Protein backbone atom coordinates (compact mmCIF):
# COMPACT_ATOMS: atom_id res chain seq x y z
CA UNK A 1 0.00 0.00 0.00
CA UNK A 2 1.44 3.39 -0.99
CA UNK A 3 0.94 6.80 0.54
CA UNK A 4 -1.58 8.91 -1.35
CA UNK A 5 -1.77 12.67 -1.18
CA UNK A 6 -4.76 13.81 -3.23
CA UNK A 7 -5.51 17.49 -3.68
CA UNK A 8 -8.18 17.84 -1.04
CA UNK A 9 -8.39 20.83 1.27
CA UNK A 10 -8.79 19.66 4.85
CA UNK A 11 -10.57 22.16 7.15
CA UNK A 12 -7.89 22.16 9.86
CA UNK A 13 -5.96 25.35 9.13
CA UNK A 14 -7.14 26.96 12.36
CA UNK A 15 -4.64 24.80 14.24
CA UNK A 16 -1.88 27.03 12.89
CA UNK A 17 -3.43 29.96 14.73
CA UNK A 18 -3.27 28.04 17.99
CA UNK A 19 0.41 27.35 17.67
CA UNK A 20 1.82 30.32 15.81
CA UNK A 21 -0.41 33.13 17.04
CA UNK A 22 -1.85 33.78 13.57
CA UNK A 23 -5.34 35.28 13.80
CA UNK A 24 -7.70 33.42 11.51
CA UNK A 25 -11.41 34.04 11.44
CA UNK A 26 -13.34 30.90 12.13
CA UNK A 27 -16.83 29.95 11.15
CA UNK A 28 -19.08 31.49 13.84
CA UNK A 29 -21.38 28.49 13.59
CA UNK A 30 -18.65 26.12 14.78
CA UNK A 31 -18.92 25.03 18.36
CA UNK A 32 -15.81 25.04 20.58
CA UNK A 33 -14.94 21.52 21.61
CA UNK A 34 -12.53 19.72 23.88
CA UNK A 35 -9.14 18.78 22.48
CA UNK A 36 -9.34 15.01 22.11
CA UNK A 37 -11.42 12.66 20.04
CA UNK A 38 -10.32 9.48 21.76
CA UNK A 39 -11.63 6.05 20.81
CA UNK A 40 -11.48 3.79 23.87
CA UNK A 41 -11.60 0.01 24.10
CA UNK A 42 -11.32 -2.06 27.28
CA UNK A 43 -10.83 -5.77 26.77
CA UNK A 44 -10.37 -8.58 29.29
CA UNK A 45 -10.00 -11.80 27.27
CA UNK A 46 -8.76 -13.90 30.20
CA UNK A 47 -10.93 -12.53 33.01
CA UNK A 48 -13.84 -14.79 34.00
CA UNK A 49 -14.58 -13.58 37.53
CA UNK A 50 -15.85 -10.12 36.57
CA UNK A 51 -19.06 -9.29 34.74
CA UNK A 52 -18.60 -7.91 31.23
CA UNK A 53 -20.76 -4.95 32.19
CA UNK A 54 -18.04 -3.75 34.58
CA UNK A 55 -15.56 -3.37 31.75
CA UNK A 56 -18.16 -1.74 29.54
CA UNK A 57 -18.84 0.79 32.29
CA UNK A 58 -15.10 1.38 32.71
CA UNK A 59 -14.76 1.94 28.97
CA UNK A 60 -17.55 4.52 29.03
CA UNK A 61 -15.99 6.28 32.01
CA UNK A 62 -12.56 6.51 30.37
CA UNK A 63 -14.06 7.79 27.13
CA UNK A 64 -15.92 10.50 29.00
CA UNK A 65 -12.80 11.42 30.99
CA UNK A 66 -10.60 11.73 27.90
CA UNK A 67 -13.07 13.51 25.63
CA UNK A 68 -15.18 15.47 28.07
CA UNK A 69 -12.45 17.39 29.87
CA UNK A 70 -10.73 20.62 28.79
CA UNK A 71 -6.99 19.93 28.83
CA UNK A 72 -5.79 23.27 27.46
CA UNK A 73 -6.83 26.92 27.39
CA UNK A 74 -7.06 26.88 23.60
CA UNK A 75 -10.31 26.69 21.68
CA UNK A 76 -10.61 23.74 19.30
CA UNK A 77 -13.27 23.39 16.64
CA UNK A 78 -14.65 19.94 15.92
CA UNK A 79 -12.42 19.68 12.84
CA UNK A 80 -9.32 20.31 14.94
CA UNK A 81 -9.78 17.58 17.54
CA UNK A 82 -6.75 15.33 18.03
CA UNK A 83 -7.61 11.84 16.86
CA UNK A 84 -6.33 9.16 19.21
CA UNK A 85 -7.05 5.64 20.36
CA UNK A 86 -6.62 3.91 23.69
CA UNK A 87 -6.82 0.17 24.18
CA UNK A 88 -6.70 -1.21 27.70
CA UNK A 89 -6.14 -4.91 28.15
CA UNK A 90 -7.00 -6.26 31.60
CA UNK A 91 -4.87 -9.30 32.38
CA UNK A 92 -5.65 -9.64 36.09
CA UNK A 93 -8.60 -8.70 38.28
CA UNK A 94 -8.67 -8.94 42.05
CA UNK A 95 -12.37 -8.84 42.75
CA UNK A 96 -14.35 -6.17 40.95
CA UNK A 97 -12.20 -3.18 41.89
CA UNK A 98 -8.48 -3.93 41.41
CA UNK A 99 -7.07 -4.43 37.94
CA UNK A 100 -3.75 -4.71 36.14
CA UNK A 101 -2.72 -5.08 32.53
CA UNK A 102 -1.46 -2.85 29.73
CA UNK A 103 -2.50 0.28 27.88
CA UNK A 104 -1.77 1.09 24.25
CA UNK A 105 -1.99 4.71 23.12
CA UNK A 106 -1.86 5.99 19.56
CA UNK A 107 -2.46 9.46 18.18
CA UNK A 108 -2.59 10.78 14.63
CA UNK A 109 -2.30 14.11 12.91
CA UNK A 110 -3.79 15.25 9.59
CA UNK A 111 -1.49 16.17 6.71
CA UNK A 112 -2.26 19.44 4.90
CA UNK A 113 -3.86 19.20 1.47
CA UNK A 114 -4.47 15.50 1.98
CA UNK A 115 -6.88 13.03 3.50
CA UNK A 116 -3.93 11.17 5.03
CA UNK A 117 -3.35 10.98 8.80
CA UNK A 118 0.22 10.50 9.99
CA UNK A 119 0.90 8.66 13.28
CA UNK A 120 2.46 10.87 15.94
CA UNK A 121 2.54 8.82 19.15
CA UNK A 122 2.45 5.06 19.65
CA UNK A 123 3.12 3.75 23.16
CA UNK A 124 2.56 0.37 24.78
CA UNK A 125 2.63 0.74 28.56
CA UNK A 126 2.72 -2.56 30.44
CA UNK A 127 2.68 -0.96 33.90
CA UNK A 128 -1.06 -0.47 34.21
CA UNK A 129 -2.37 -0.95 37.76
CA UNK A 130 -5.43 0.74 39.21
CA UNK A 131 -8.46 0.52 41.48
CA UNK A 132 -11.87 1.52 40.24
CA UNK A 133 -15.36 0.94 41.58
CA UNK A 134 -18.05 0.25 39.01
CA UNK A 135 -20.31 3.24 38.45
CA UNK A 136 -17.99 5.88 39.89
CA UNK A 137 -16.72 8.86 37.92
CA UNK A 138 -13.03 9.23 37.15
CA UNK A 139 -11.83 12.45 38.76
CA UNK A 140 -8.53 14.23 38.31
CA UNK A 141 -6.86 16.98 40.33
CA UNK A 142 -3.74 18.49 38.69
CA UNK A 143 -2.33 19.38 42.10
CA UNK A 144 -2.37 15.90 43.63
CA UNK A 145 -2.33 12.18 42.92
CA UNK A 146 -5.91 11.04 43.59
CA UNK A 147 -5.57 7.55 42.13
CA UNK A 148 -3.53 5.67 39.56
CA UNK A 149 -6.21 5.46 36.87
CA UNK A 150 -6.91 9.19 36.63
CA UNK A 151 -3.20 10.04 36.78
CA UNK A 152 -2.29 7.61 33.98
CA UNK A 153 -5.12 8.85 31.77
CA UNK A 154 -4.28 12.50 32.41
CA UNK A 155 -0.58 11.84 31.85
CA UNK A 156 -1.19 10.35 28.41
CA UNK A 157 -3.69 13.08 27.54
CA UNK A 158 -0.98 15.68 28.08
CA UNK A 159 1.58 13.57 26.21
CA UNK A 160 -0.78 13.24 23.23
CA UNK A 161 -1.42 16.99 23.19
CA UNK A 162 2.25 17.86 23.73
CA UNK A 163 3.34 15.65 20.85
CA UNK A 164 0.64 17.09 18.60
CA UNK A 165 1.67 20.67 19.41
CA UNK A 166 5.34 19.80 18.82
CA UNK A 167 4.41 18.64 15.33
CA UNK A 168 2.94 22.06 14.48
CA UNK A 169 5.41 24.38 16.22
CA UNK A 170 9.01 23.91 17.33
CA UNK A 171 8.90 22.72 20.97
CA UNK A 172 5.34 24.05 21.26
CA UNK A 173 4.33 21.11 23.43
CA UNK A 174 6.56 22.00 26.39
CA UNK A 175 3.68 23.33 28.49
CA UNK A 176 1.91 19.98 28.29
CA UNK A 177 5.02 17.89 28.85
CA UNK A 178 5.58 19.91 32.02
CA UNK A 179 2.03 19.10 33.13
CA UNK A 180 2.71 15.42 32.48
CA UNK A 181 5.94 15.70 34.45
CA UNK A 182 4.01 17.20 37.38
CA UNK A 183 1.71 14.17 37.35
CA UNK A 184 4.79 11.95 37.52
CA UNK A 185 6.17 13.94 40.45
CA UNK A 186 2.87 13.73 42.34
CA UNK A 187 2.77 9.95 41.86
CA UNK A 188 6.23 9.26 43.29
CA UNK A 189 4.95 8.10 46.67
CA UNK A 190 1.80 6.39 45.44
CA UNK A 191 3.40 2.99 44.99
CA UNK A 192 2.26 2.28 41.44
CA UNK A 193 4.49 0.98 38.68
CA UNK A 194 5.82 3.13 35.86
CA UNK A 195 6.24 6.40 37.75
CA UNK A 196 9.81 6.15 39.05
CA UNK A 197 13.22 6.46 37.43
CA UNK A 198 14.36 3.34 39.24
CA UNK A 199 11.62 1.18 37.72
CA UNK A 200 13.32 0.75 34.36
CA UNK A 201 14.22 2.95 31.39
CA UNK A 202 11.00 2.49 29.45
CA UNK A 203 8.24 3.94 31.54
CA UNK A 204 6.18 7.07 32.06
CA UNK A 205 8.91 8.77 34.09
CA UNK A 206 11.52 8.51 31.35
CA UNK A 207 9.19 9.23 28.44
CA UNK A 208 8.45 12.77 29.61
CA UNK A 209 11.79 13.33 31.39
CA UNK A 210 13.62 12.72 28.14
CA UNK A 211 11.39 14.97 26.06
CA UNK A 212 12.19 17.86 28.37
CA UNK A 213 15.96 17.27 28.44
CA UNK A 214 18.54 19.07 26.32
CA UNK A 215 19.77 15.76 24.92
CA UNK A 216 16.45 15.11 23.18
CA UNK A 217 15.99 18.49 21.54
CA UNK A 218 16.99 17.03 18.13
CA UNK A 219 14.10 14.56 18.49
CA UNK A 220 11.67 17.36 19.19
CA UNK A 221 13.09 19.35 16.28
CA UNK A 222 12.54 16.28 14.13
CA UNK A 223 8.89 16.12 15.17
CA UNK A 224 8.43 19.65 13.87
CA UNK A 225 10.50 19.38 10.69
CA UNK A 226 9.17 15.92 9.82
CA UNK A 227 5.59 17.17 9.87
CA UNK A 228 5.51 20.91 9.09
CA UNK A 229 8.48 21.02 6.69
CA UNK A 230 7.98 17.48 5.43
CA UNK A 231 4.56 15.89 5.26
CA UNK A 232 2.68 19.19 5.15
CA UNK A 233 4.43 20.16 1.89
CA UNK A 234 4.34 16.73 0.24
CA UNK A 235 1.50 17.77 -2.01
CA UNK A 236 3.35 20.83 -3.29
CA UNK A 237 6.97 19.62 -3.38
CA UNK A 238 7.57 15.91 -2.89
CA UNK A 239 11.34 16.05 -3.37
CA UNK A 240 11.83 18.93 -0.92
CA UNK A 241 9.56 17.19 1.60
CA UNK A 242 11.60 13.99 1.40
CA UNK A 243 14.84 15.94 1.77
CA UNK A 244 13.57 17.77 4.86
CA UNK A 245 12.28 14.57 6.45
CA UNK A 246 15.56 12.76 5.83
CA UNK A 247 17.52 15.70 7.26
CA UNK A 248 15.32 15.75 10.36
CA UNK A 249 15.82 12.03 10.96
CA UNK A 250 19.56 12.22 10.37
CA UNK A 251 19.90 15.10 12.84
CA UNK A 252 18.64 12.79 15.60
CA UNK A 253 21.96 10.93 15.44
CA UNK A 254 23.35 13.33 18.06
CA UNK A 255 20.72 12.11 20.51
CA UNK A 256 21.38 8.49 19.61
CA UNK A 257 25.12 8.92 20.21
CA UNK A 258 24.47 10.08 23.76
CA UNK A 259 21.50 7.83 24.54
CA UNK A 260 21.59 4.88 22.13
CA UNK A 261 18.45 2.79 22.12
CA UNK A 262 16.57 5.32 24.25
CA UNK A 263 12.89 4.79 24.96
CA UNK A 264 11.89 7.98 23.14
CA UNK A 265 13.66 7.02 19.94
CA UNK A 266 11.99 3.62 20.14
CA UNK A 267 8.61 5.32 20.52
CA UNK A 268 9.34 7.55 17.52
CA UNK A 269 10.26 4.67 15.23
CA UNK A 270 7.44 2.47 16.53
CA UNK A 271 5.06 5.11 15.18
CA UNK A 272 7.01 6.04 12.07
CA UNK A 273 8.97 3.08 10.66
CA UNK A 274 6.31 1.84 8.26
CA UNK A 275 5.56 5.37 7.10
CA UNK A 276 9.24 6.13 6.49
CA UNK A 277 9.58 2.98 4.40
CA UNK A 278 6.50 3.81 2.31
CA UNK A 279 7.75 7.33 1.72
CA UNK A 280 11.34 6.51 0.78
CA UNK A 281 10.98 3.12 -0.97
CA UNK A 282 10.17 4.85 -4.30
CA UNK A 283 12.81 7.59 -3.82
CA UNK A 284 16.10 7.83 -5.65
CA UNK A 285 18.97 5.49 -4.85
CA UNK A 286 21.01 8.41 -3.54
CA UNK A 287 18.29 9.30 -1.04
CA UNK A 288 17.93 5.72 0.14
CA UNK A 289 21.69 5.18 0.45
CA UNK A 290 21.96 8.34 2.54
CA UNK A 291 19.15 7.44 4.93
CA UNK A 292 19.40 3.67 5.24
CA UNK A 293 22.47 3.40 7.53
CA UNK A 294 21.03 6.04 9.85
CA UNK A 295 17.75 4.19 10.20
CA UNK A 296 19.55 0.91 10.89
CA UNK A 297 21.72 2.55 13.51
CA UNK A 298 18.90 4.26 15.41
CA UNK A 299 16.21 1.61 14.94
CA UNK A 300 18.08 -1.73 15.03
CA UNK A 301 14.92 -3.68 15.75
CA UNK A 302 13.74 -3.00 12.18
CA UNK A 303 17.01 -3.53 10.29
CA UNK A 304 15.59 -6.35 8.16
CA UNK A 305 12.55 -4.24 7.20
CA UNK A 306 14.73 -1.34 6.14
CA UNK A 307 17.08 -3.60 4.18
CA UNK A 308 14.22 -5.30 2.36
CA UNK A 309 12.55 -2.02 1.39
CA UNK A 310 15.37 0.45 0.91
CA UNK A 311 18.39 -1.52 -0.28
**Percent above pLDDT 70 for the chain:** 89
What pLDDT shows up at residue 96? 85
Number of H helices, E strands in the chain: 11, 4
Instruction: Tell which residue, 248, 241, 233, 225, has the closest CA to residue 279.
Output: 241
87 or 3, higher pLDDT: 87
Could you tell me the pTM of the whole model?
Answer: 0.89
Per-residue model confidence as pLDDT tens digits over 132-158: 999 999 999 999 999 999 999 999 999
Over residues 61-75, the mean pLDDT reads 95
CA gap 302, 215 in Å, rounded:
23
Instruction: Tell which residue, 217, 118, 109, 240, has the closest CA to residue 170.
Output: 217
101 burial (CB, 10 Å; 0-12 / 13-18 / 19+) is buried
pLDDT band at 162 (very low <50, low <70, confident <90, very high): very high
Give me the chain's average pLDDT, please: 90
Q: Does 8 have pLDDT greater than 80?
A: no
What pLDDT shows up at residue 33? 61
Give yes or no for a contact between 244 and 230, defined as CB atoms under 8 angstroms apart.
yes
pLDDT band at 95 (very low <50, low <70, confident <90, very high): confident
Per-residue model confidence as pLDDT tens digits over 206-235: 999 999 999 999 999 999 999 999 999 999
Helix axes 303-310, 263-280, angle to 10 degrees: 20
- Partnered with residue 76 across adjacent β-strands are 33
- Partnered with residue 105 across adjacent β-strands are 86, 123
**Percent above pLDDT 90 for the chain:** 83
pLDDT band at 99 (very low <50, low <70, confident <90, very high): very high
What pLDDT shows up at residue 280? 97
118 or 46, higher pLDDT: 118
DSSP state, residue 30: P
152 burial (CB, 10 Å; 0-12 / 13-18 / 19+) is buried
Dihedral over Cα of 181, 182, 184, 189: its sign: positive
Q: Does 248 have pLDDT greater than 90?
A: yes
Phi, psi angles (nearest 5°) of residue 59: -60, -45
What pLDDT shows up at residue 191? 83
Per-residue model confidence as pLDDT tens digits over 15-54: 433 343 333 333 433 344 689 999 999 999 989 989 999 9
> Among 72-76, 160-164, 248-252, 288-292, which stretch is predicted with the lowest mean pLDDT?
72-76
Q: Does 13 have pLDDT greater than 50?
A: no
Instruction: Tell which residue, 1, 78, 64, has the closest CA to residue 35.
Output: 78
Amino acid sequence: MTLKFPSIEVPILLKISILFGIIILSNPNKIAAQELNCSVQVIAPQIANVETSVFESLEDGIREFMNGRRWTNDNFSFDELIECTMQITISEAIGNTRFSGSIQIQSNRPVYNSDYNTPVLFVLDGDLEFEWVDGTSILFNPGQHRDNLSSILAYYSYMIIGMDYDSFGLESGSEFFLKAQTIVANAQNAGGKGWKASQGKQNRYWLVENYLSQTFRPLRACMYKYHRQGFDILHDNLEMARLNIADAIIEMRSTNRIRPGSYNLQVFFLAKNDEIIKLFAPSSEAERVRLLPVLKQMDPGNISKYDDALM
